[in-house]
Structure 1
Amino acid sequence: MTSFAEPHAPLVARSVVLDQDTASSLLDLLPDRGPLCWLRRGEGIVGWGEAASIRTAGADRFADADAWWTTLTGRAVVRDEVNRPGSGLVAFGSFAFADAPGESMLVVPEVVVGRRGGVTWLTTVSRGGLDVEGHLAPVEPVRAPSGIVFADGALDGERWMSVVADAVARIGRGDLEKVVLARDLLATADDDVDVRWPLQRLAEDYPMCWTFHVEGLFGATPEMLVRRERGLVTSRVLAGTIRRTGDDEHDLALAAALARSSKDLEEHEYAVRSVADALGPYCSSFNVPESPFVLHLPNVMHLATDVAGVVDDARPVSSLRLAEALHPSAAVGGTPTEVAVALIEAIEGMDRGRYAGPVGWMDAAGDGEWGIALRSGLIEGRTVRLFAGCGIVGASDPEAELAETQAKFVPVRDAVSPSA
């Protein structure tokens, strides 16, 4: 089912440059109702209000949203005095992992504030004029959560390890090569959780990641599914993980071990291959590095590969449709994809919703950035569902995979706590 919320008249969008001192952090501008966020290293875009939206589901969710966006932008009047990625008319989006269940959406904010390369700008979207003072009015103080209590989600640790063991046995029989299995953790507070609190914590603690929020789903993802910017397409692939200890010398040794690990290199190769195969048909040229590098994050280290290509002019395609082509990659689904996704549905034991689906933004030209909704949580009133997953291959050990999920819970678990 698809539903729309948009004005009868064409949208009018205008972007203007603001004083760089408008806010030390773009997050400081967000109200507590309906905030939207996509930030990394202090740059990106935040928004609020709703000028138009689409909510859709099912196998055609990407195509429906892309067609709606094409029609909407084709009618819009855009005055962009900034001309930066993220200026002009933009929509924030979050898409379900599976065809069912799960709702997906694109949301066009009434107000967007962006920052990139030393330039800060304001975009307003409406049928009226530009009122800078009104749009940047003081916001309510951010509320810290209180009384947070954590509990198991759909499966406790023991039951989840048995699911991993089942998957390893199926891989050993040759049913598939890899499957990504996830689990959830529940956090319950005394009162409704203000998403701005975890967003601020994540942006401060994980500046190398993309901090995001769209309709309750928030997180700090280290994985860029796809970026399209003026003809250049890039994708960051992460697969293969080891937990950091906090001892720099020991962590360097662990990083070297990760780079030599046959199990992790095998998992990573599957993920890189799936991305290259998906993007190849849309690119006139393509570059895949021969070996991965180790990405160091505060809590874990990953094997990482940055894949790059140039969009084929004969086959123009939006960043959202590129995200559709890539989803689900081996990094969040498995190999072969159809077999792995079917196994996830059969044995994982929980509804992923929008976890591990594409999340990001897109502009009127189809350029945009789409990450994978990892290291994430879903706020529903005073309850937060935290998510974490692991790539399972033939050499996987259930206890080690459980420990990996516990390490991956750390960013969001700390972020929703009153203090860490």
Structure 2
Amino acid sequence: MTTAAARTATSAAAVTTTPLGARRTPLLTLLPRDGALAWVRRGEGLIGWGEAARLEVSGPGALAEAADWWAQRCAGTEVHDPVGVPGSGPVLFASVAFDPAEGTSVFVVPEVVVGRRDGCTWVTVTGDADDEDLAVVETSPQHAATSIGRLAYADGALDPMAWCGAVAAAVARIDAGELDKVVLARDLLVSADRPLDPRRLLLRLAERFPDTWTFAVDGLLGATPELLLRRTGRELDARVLAGTAPRGAGAEDDRLAVGLQTSVKDHAEHAYAVDSLADALRPFVDELVVPEQPSVLTLPNVRHLASDVRGRQRDDDATGLLELVGAVHPTAAVCGTPTAGAARVIAELEGMDRGRYAGPVGWLDARGDGEFGLALRCAQLTGADGGRQARLFAGCGIVADSDPIAELAETQAKLAAFQAALED
């Protein structure tokens, strides 16, 4: 049975969206320090704060329960939305556990949402809008803390050598025919002299990685390069990433890029991820376009093999976005192939509870449009020690040809993305 851990403010209130025209203020600079919610890429997207309603849920039917809760709330809401684009009107931010049946997923309806799409900005208020709610987008940006002082890092569940041992064990099980691929992650703990300001971290991530989706929900924040699923009307889009190479300097960078493009190991890892997504989507679509070969996505710290998958949901299919997310997650990009075997190996070798790391994260509106990425290149602000601690995550795909030391280096390159935001 699904168990709802917490519900707040279940009765719906009026929702009013007000167009603001063209505004230049960066969205992330408008966030208050506490309760930041964000989904931003290339300066556009959604931010929010406050909690008009909240659902925490776990169990085998967690996403179905959340979908029902959201549908009931929207059905009882009086909406004034002259903007009428994806993300205007009622909006739900979501951060789903990697294993929704075991972990707790969090869904938040903000009191205030500021959105920007195609250069146009709007503000949505749930409840009675007051001058303070609307004035926030008229005033100067909020000031994030400029320094968090010294940082101290500590190993998480496994130290580097123990994690390499887990990779070697996974390769042995792949060689034995138990599975084809598994994604193993590791965590890194950090403590700062002063409280970690999520606004500062989000701004630095967005500045350094503008082509990723910068996100924040309930203290989990990061910059994900992977789009699990976007729904706009009946159109579905996803960006699958699997197969990674570090960046280098000069000719070395070029050599690494060619190496990724020609790597049999990385292409095999990528194919597992693409096939798992495509197979999960096919029952819901009447057309699906999957690239024959991946492209290369270049980020400041790493390169990935990338495939943009597009489809159209069948007109006779009433499955909502949350249910679609539940159908495709976990893909081989964050779990492995076959799914059940990979999940078992993760539970036995990884040594940690992923929580909401590598789970779906994003937003959904009342029309059923929305975007969900995978919570990667991220950290969970723990709230411990006065908000001075966080838990960073990174993982990589393990296949038959994986080398433990090379995989460790890949996780270090991925962790460096968030470490740079902390240390700037």
Deviation of 1:130 after TM superposition, in Å, equals 5.4
Q: Deviations over 1:50-109 (max 9, x none)?
A: 111111012211111111011111111111111222111101000100145421111010
Q: Give the structure 2 partner of residue 400 of structure 1.
A: 406
The percent of aligned pairs where both chains have the same amino acid is: 50
1:316-355 equivalences in 2 (<5 Å): 316-355=318-357
Q: Give the structure 2 partner of residue 225 of structure 1.
A: 228
Identify which of 260, 272, 287 aligns with 1:270.
272
Deviation of 1:134 after TM superposition, in Å, equals 4.3
Does the 8 Å CA contact 1:227/1:370 hold for their aligned counterparts?
yes
Does the 8 Å CA contact 1:221/1:375 hold for their aligned counterparts?
yes
Q: Using a 3 Å threshold, how does the CA distance of structure 1 residues 7 and 327 change in structure 2: closer, same or farther? A: closer
Q: Using a 3 Å threshold, how does the CA distance of structure 1 residues 277 and 361 change in structure 2: closer, same or farther? A: same
Q: Using a 3 Å threshold, how does the CA distance of structure 1 residues 159 and 100 change in structure 2: closer, same or farther? A: farther
Gaps in structure 1 of 5+ consecutive residues: none
Q: Does 2:397 match 1:391?
A: yes
Q: Give the structure 1 partner of residue 26 of structure 2.
A: 25
Q: Give the structure 2 partner of residue 51 of structure 1.
A: 52
Q: Using a 3 Å threshold, how does the CA distance of structure 1 residues 201 and 293 change in structure 2: closer, same or farther? A: same
Q: Does 2:212 match 1:205?
A: no
- SS of corresponding position for 1:416: helix
**Distance in 2 (alpha carbons) for counterparts of 1:135 and 1:24:** 11
Does the 8 Å CA contact 1:54/1:105 hold for their aligned counterparts?
yes
Gaps in structure 2 of 5+ consecutive residues: none
Off by >3 Å, runs of 4+ in structure 1: 129-140
Which amino acid letter does the alignment assign opposite residue 60 of structure 2? A
**Distance in 2 (alpha carbons) for counterparts of 1:70 and 1:35:** 24
Q: Give the structure 1 partner of residue 368 of structure 2.
A: 366
Q: Does 2:149 match 1:179?
A: no
1:281-296 equivalences in 2 (<5 Å): 281-296=283-298
Q: Using a 3 Å threshold, how does the CA distance of structure 1 residues 63 and 259 change in structure 2: closer, same or farther? A: same
Deviation of 1:185 after TM superposition, in Å, equals 0.5
Deviation of 1:133 after TM superposition, in Å, equals 3.8
Does the 8 Å CA contact 1:90/1:361 hold for their aligned counterparts?
yes
Which amino acid letter does the alignment assign opposite residue 380 of structure 2? L
Q: Does 2:116 match 1:115?
A: yes
Deviation of 1:166 after TM superposition, in Å, equals 0.2
Identify which of 8, 14, 21 aligns with 2:16.
14
Deviation of 1:140 after TM superposition, in Å, equals 5.2
Q: Deviations over 1:225-248 (max 9, x none)?
A: 00000110011100000000132x
Q: Using a 3 Å threshold, how does the CA distance of structure 1 residues 232 and 130 change in structure 2: closer, same or farther? A: farther
- SS of corresponding position for 2:312: strand
Deviation of 1:138 after TM superposition, in Å, equals 5.8
Q: Deviations over 1:308-347 (max 9, x none)?
A: 1001111122222111111110000000001101110111
**Distance in 1 (alpha carbons) for counterparts of 2:367 and 2:84:** 12
Deviation of 1:6 after TM superposition, in Å, equals 1.6
Q: Does 2:151 match 1:148?
A: yes
Q: Give the structure 2 partner of residue 188 of structure 1.
A: 191
**Distance in 1 (alpha carbons) for counterparts of 2:186 and 2:212:** 21
1:38-117 equivalences in 2 (<5 Å): 38-99=39-100, 101-117=102-118
**Distance in 2 (alpha carbons) for counterparts of 1:85 and 1:160:** 42
Q: Give the structure 2 partner of residue 313 of structure 1.
A: 315
Does the 8 Å CA contact 1:111/1:135 hold for their aligned counterparts?
no
Which amino acid letter does the alignment assign opposite residue 233 of structure 1? L
Identify which of 214, 218, 236 aligns with 2:217.
214
